[in-house]
Chains A and B, each alone.
Chain A
Amino acid sequence: MMRRTTISAALAIIAALGILGSAFAADYPAKPVQMLIPFGAGGSADSMGRMIAKTAEKHLGQNIVAVNKPGAGGGIMLTALHEAKPDGYTIGWGSTGILTATNIGNVPFKHDVFTHVARVGFSGMPIAVRADAPWNSFEEFVAYAKENPNKIKIGNAGTGSATHLTPIFIEKELGLQFIHVPLGAKRRVPSLLGGEVEAICVPLPEVAGQVQAGKAKVLVIPSAERDPGFPDVPTMKDFGYDVVIELFRGISVPKGTPDAIVAKIEEAFKKGAQDPEFIEFAKKNSFNISFMGMDEFNNYVEPMDTKIAMVMEETGLKKN
């Protein structure tokens, strides 16, 4: 008798939980949503993330709370996102870092443990040199590099990061050899201005101010199209090279998040990206808004992942 009561009570609880679960999706969002940011406060990933959270939450109907989870090249945040319940209350503000951190083996899983919900936009990843550098164009830079292999030092944000892979892509495609200096995000621009390295690969927002002030110049931006803020700077495609790498930013969630919830998140960020406040902010910070919904975003991520994996394999960086 006792046992039967226990069993029926247990069944009742399970049934109740089931109902609750389905009610969950319909009621979503019933409480504030956490948005994990893979870097510390203050950088462009952080400020951009906080701004889109602010404009998207108007359309989601709940607060979106930005939580910084820095460390391990984004690995800490990716692990937290991977381990989070797939209920839509934990979402991740990801970037190209999702592809680099998973391939280099900072985390023991691939990017496909996430559903990539929406790409908000991207920034170019130019090769920048000092304003007084002897090269006035990418061609001159390449000609010098060809004659002087292992001479030009290019700074990046860290080994295996997107800013490291971009110069590697260029090296491979053009048969050049650079010295890669993992300066870290903090010291990239000071090192360039101080003359420690000849060039850096850096997300456009971080160097745009220096370019406008005449302290640095960008030689090439390997995006798919010319950057609207720098229409005179060529892309790699302009020279006939198949090198396209962009620092995209978008929302990813743990796989298994119900479709209805994913759709709500996608919609909220789509509208958030169209908010005049976000548009204004993005324009000032060299971030190109170019929204992609779930399907388009996944089609965009997949080939980029393959390419990154390939280059990492060739250079011995790939460990996952």
Chain B
Amino acid sequence: MDIALAALFDVLQIENILASMAGVFFGLFIGATPGLTISLGMVLLLPLTFALSPVTAFCLLLGLYSSGFTGGSISAILLNIPGTPSAAATAIDGHAMAKNGRAGEAIGTAVTASFFGGMFSLVCLVLIAPTIAKFALRFGAPELCALVLLGLTLICSFGQKSIIKGLISGVIGLIFMTVGLDPMVGTPRFTFGQVQLQAGISFLPALIGLFAIPQVVNGIIAGVRVIPTYHGKVAGVLPKLSNLVKLAKSMLLGACIGTGVGAIPGAGGPIAVFLSYDYISRVSKNKGEFGKGTPEGVAAPESANNGVAGGAMIPMLTLGIPGDPITAILLGALMIQGLTPGPLLFENNGQFVYSVFWAFLVANVLTLILTFATIKLWVRIHQVPSRILLPIITILCIVGSYSLRNTFFDTGVMLFFGVIGYLMNKFRFPIVPLLLAIILGPALEEHLRMSLIISQGSYAIFFTHPISLTFLVIALFSFTLPLVGPLIRKKSAEEDQDIIKKTV
């Protein structure tokens, strides 16, 4: 307990609080800016941490880590441009709320849910990290393959207005992701001799293009603001307690899924976010409200989002294995500070590990406070004329897509997907299935083929592993319900009609 208290005092030193604050501010900016990612922000801050003490360095980086996700949802809600891939699910209901003049409430819900998710994952991290980490290690290739497949079945849920169009959109995404080096044997596929294409199409430039470019193009064509204007008072910024109670189920669900998926090395945050959005939209009492702007549709993915943050730190701190690309950078920062990541970190640097816990807590609290304090400022983006806003968005997209891997090729990829996104909008194809396929496609192929190498070609591996089998069964339900559901409902409606006719 002594070291826990000592660590707390350490984190509460003025320079560490200032570092947290700087990290949080920077994270909000990075997250809210389309194209600038948390990973990029970390890379930018990394050289600065050379000169800092380990605790100060981690206060700075964790500030960025926890607020970056929150920032990502701000632009998703206000502009329908997710600042981070994980915010793509938030955009669905968050932006719908903004269009109805409830932007302030949407951001308020997002921030509160993020805080809840972050805190939940921190509690898990402190109390049951070793247990979770042990369980997460049981996720081998077949388990991951089944989990990813489950994620892909969401294509059906997110293309609900037209399942055919949803499937087409998803398949287009899967086709694009076959470009690049074969993940197993390294043969170039569809690269046309271009080395740049060997690295495949990275999903971040695609994400930026798909969401941001159609907004810009529509704005130019229409000559008017496409971004909804709302001049009234920003009402209901602080979520009411009664509303929070209503959202408790969504937030808890999101936090559990987020922490769990975050802890599995190689699973990835977006899958957690979409899974929790999909799941809450099925178990919620107001199913019909989803997609039209319900706070539940914001709370679940946002809570999952920050749950992933704490979840990903579980294998990082207990095993020395990063849970996602961002914690991989955090591990790098640990190494630069002269601390050896690995199972012995806790024994050798116990006080430092406690400092990481406290720093994560402080970062979450500061994110909550700073975002609430600035919501009214953010919402003012609505009042910026589009002749100023659209060029700024365009420049940020170009800079952002370049900076991901320092190559203009990715800017080209961004523009290419911008055209696709525009055409898809125009012909009313849903974008989310394409996005899901782009994010999950490579993982599906990799884990499927890896499983088959391990099993020497036998597909039984997916059914003999209990975790994998469980996911496959859920995936089957997830896939068939949206297809069969309307039929059943239609049938019962017809029966109702019959009954009504008979009684008449």
Within 8 A of A (CB), among B305-326: 315, 319-322, 325
How does the 8 Å CB contact mask read for A175-204 relative to B, with 1 for contact and 0 for none?
000011111101101110111110000000
Q: Check if A228 is an interface residue, CB within 8 A of chain B.
A: no
| Interface-side segment among A7-15, A19-27, A46-54, A133-141 | A46-54
Q: Are A41 and B46 in contact (CB under 8 A)?
A: yes
Q: Are B336 and A76 in contact (CB under 8 A)?
A: no
Residue of B nearest to A54 (CB): B50
Q: Are B343 and A71 in contact (CB under 8 A)?
A: no
How does the 8 Å CB contact mask read for B439-460 relative to A, with 1 for contact and 0 for none?
0000000100010011010000
How does the 8 Å CB contact mask read for B328-353 relative to A, with 1 for contact and 0 for none?
11111001101011111100000000
Contact (A194, B47) CB under 8 Å given A182-B450, A187-B266, A210-B343: no
Q: Check if A168 is an interface residue, CB within 8 A of chain B.
A: no
Q: Are B181 and A186 in contact (CB under 8 A)?
A: no
Q: Are A79 and B322 in contact (CB under 8 A)?
A: no
Q: Are A72 and B181 in contact (CB under 8 A)?
A: yes
Within 8 A of B (CB), among A105-128: 106-108
Query: Within 8 Å CB of A189, what residues of B?
Result: 319-321
Within 8 A of A (CB), among B122-145: 136-141
Q: How far is the CA of A180 from the CA of B184 in the complex (A)?
A: 10
Q: Are A75 and B195 in contact (CB under 8 A)?
A: yes
Q: Are B406 and A69 in contact (CB under 8 A)?
A: yes
Query: Within 8 Å CB of B343, what residues of A?
Result: 209-210, 213, 215
- Return B464 CB to nearest CB of chain A, in Å: 14
Query: Within 8 Å CB of A215, what residues of B?
Result: 343
Q: How far is the CA of A47 from the CA of B47 in the complex (A)?
A: 10
How does the 8 Å CB contact mask read for B168-202 relative to A, with 1 for contact and 0 for none?
00000000000011011110100001011011100
Q: Are B331 and A71 in contact (CB under 8 A)?
A: no
Q: Are B406 and A193 in contact (CB under 8 A)?
A: no
Query: Within 8 Å CB of A196, what residues of B?
Result: 140-141, 454
> Which of B47, B136, B140, B199 is A70 in contact with, Cβ under 8 Å?
B199
Q: Check if B42 is an interface residue, CB within 8 A of chain A.
A: yes
Within 8 A of B (CB), among A50-82: 50-51, 54, 66-73, 75-76, 79-80
Q: Check if B265 is an interface residue, CB within 8 A of chain A.
A: yes
Q: Check if A160 is an interface residue, CB within 8 A of chain B.
A: yes
Q: How far is the CA of A256 from the CA of B141 in the complex (A)?
A: 46
Q: Are B186 and A73 in contact (CB under 8 A)?
A: yes
Q: Count CB-based A-B contacts (< 8 Å).
A: 156
Query: Within 8 Å CB of A73, what residues of B?
Result: 181, 186
Query: Within 8 Å CB of A79, what residues of B?
Result: 195-196
Q: Are B335 and A47 in contact (CB under 8 A)?
A: yes
Q: Check if B43 is an interface residue, CB within 8 A of chain A.
A: yes
Q: Are B342 and A212 in contact (CB under 8 A)?
A: yes
> Which of A158, A186, A191, A281 is B338 in contact with, Cβ under 8 Å?
A281
Q: Check if B39 is an interface residue, CB within 8 A of chain A.
A: yes
Q: Check if B383 is an interface residue, CB within 8 A of chain A.
A: no
Residue of A nearest to B346 (CB): A213
Q: Are A71 and B139 in contact (CB under 8 A)?
A: no
Range for the number of chain A residues in contact with chain B: 35 or more
- Return A284 CB to nearest CB of chain B, in Å: 6
Q: Check if A264 is an interface residue, CB within 8 A of chain B.
A: no
Query: Within 8 Å CB of A212, what residues of B?
Result: 340, 342, 344
Q: Are B406 and A68 in contact (CB under 8 A)?
A: yes
Query: Within 8 Å CB of B330, what residues of A?
Result: 42
Q: Check if A159 is an interface residue, CB within 8 A of chain B.
A: yes
Q: How far is the CA of A213 from the CA of B265 in the complex (A)?
A: 20
The listed residue with most A CB atoms (<10 A of its CB), out of B140, B193, B331, is B140
Q: Are B185 and A41 in contact (CB under 8 A)?
A: no
- Return B282 CB to nearest CB of chain A, in Å: 31
Q: Check if B405 is an interface residue, CB within 8 A of chain A.
A: yes
Q: Are A42 and B454 in contact (CB under 8 A)?
A: no
- Return B297 CB to nearest CB of chain A, in Å: 31
Q: How far is the CA of A75 from the CA of B195 in the complex (A)?
A: 7
Q: Are B195 and A182 in contact (CB under 8 A)?
A: no
Q: Check if B407 is an interface residue, CB within 8 A of chain A.
A: yes
Residue of B nearest to A46 (CB): B332
Q: Are A191 and B140 in contact (CB under 8 A)?
A: yes
Query: Within 8 Å CB of B456, what residues of A?
Result: 179
Contact (A42, B332) CB under 8 Å given A79-B195, A186-B266: yes
Q: How far is the CA of A108 from the CA of B188 in the complex (A)?
A: 12
Query: Within 8 Å CB of B46, what residues of A?
Result: 41, 50
Q: Check if A44 is an interface residue, CB within 8 A of chain B.
A: yes
The listed residue with most B CB atoms (<10 A of its CB), out of A153, A187, A285, is A187
Query: Within 8 Å CB of B199, what residues of A?
Result: 70-72, 75-76
Query: Within 8 Å CB of B320, what residues of A?
Result: 189, 209-210
Q: How far is the CA of A173 from the CA of B342 in the complex (A)?
A: 33
Query: Within 8 Å CB of B50, what residues of A?
Result: 54
Contact (A153, B344) CB under 8 Å given A42-B325, A46-B332, A159-B186: no
> Which of A190, A195, A209, A280 is B342 in contact with, Cβ under 8 Å?
A209
Q: Check if A258 is an interface residue, CB within 8 A of chain B.
A: no
Q: Check if A149 is an interface residue, CB within 8 A of chain B.
A: no
> Which of B185, B198, B336, B344 is A47 in contact with, Cβ under 8 Å?
B336
Query: Within 8 Å CB of A191, what residues of B?
Result: 140-141
Query: Within 8 Å CB of B42, what residues of A?
Result: 41
Q: Check if A18 is an interface residue, CB within 8 A of chain B.
A: no
Q: Are A106 and B406 in contact (CB under 8 A)?
A: no
How does the 8 Å CB contact mask read for A196-235 relative to B, with 1 for contact and 0 for none?
1100000000001110110100000000000000000000
Residue of B nearest to A76 (CB): B199
Q: Are A182 and B184 in contact (CB under 8 A)?
A: yes
> Which of A44, A69, A159, A179 is B335 in contact with, Cβ under 8 Å?
A44
Q: How far is the CA of A51 from the CA of B336 in the complex (A)?
A: 7
Q: Are A76 and B342 in contact (CB under 8 A)?
A: no
Query: Within 8 Å CB of A187, what residues of B?
Result: 141, 265-266
Q: Check if A265 is an interface residue, CB within 8 A of chain B.
A: no
> Which of B183, B340, B406, B407 is A182 in contact with, Cβ under 8 Å?
B183
Q: Are A160 and B186 in contact (CB under 8 A)?
A: yes
Query: Within 8 Å CB of A50, what residues of B?
Result: 46-47, 336
- Return B155 CB to nearest CB of chain A, in Å: 25
Contact (A194, B140) CB under 8 Å given A41-B332, A106-B181: yes
- Return B447 CB to nearest CB of chain A, in Å: 9
How does the 8 Å CB contact mask read for B15-37 relative to A, with 1 for contact and 0 for none?
00000000000000000000000
A residues within 8 Å of B by Cβ? 40-44, 46-47, 50-51, 54, 66-73, 75-76, 79-80, 104, 106-108, 153, 158-160, 179-184, 186-187, 189-191, 193-197, 208-210, 212-213, 215, 280-281, 284-285, 317
Top 7 nearest A-B pairs (CB, nearest first) are A209-B342, A71-B199, A213-B343, A42-B328, A72-B198, A42-B332, A196-B140
Additional pairs, 16, CB under 8 Å, beyond known A47-B336, A107-B195: A41-B43, A44-B335, A50-B336, A66-B47, A72-B195, A76-B407, A104-B186, A106-B181, A182-B183, A186-B322, A196-B141, A213-B343, A213-B344, A215-B343, A281-B336, A284-B335
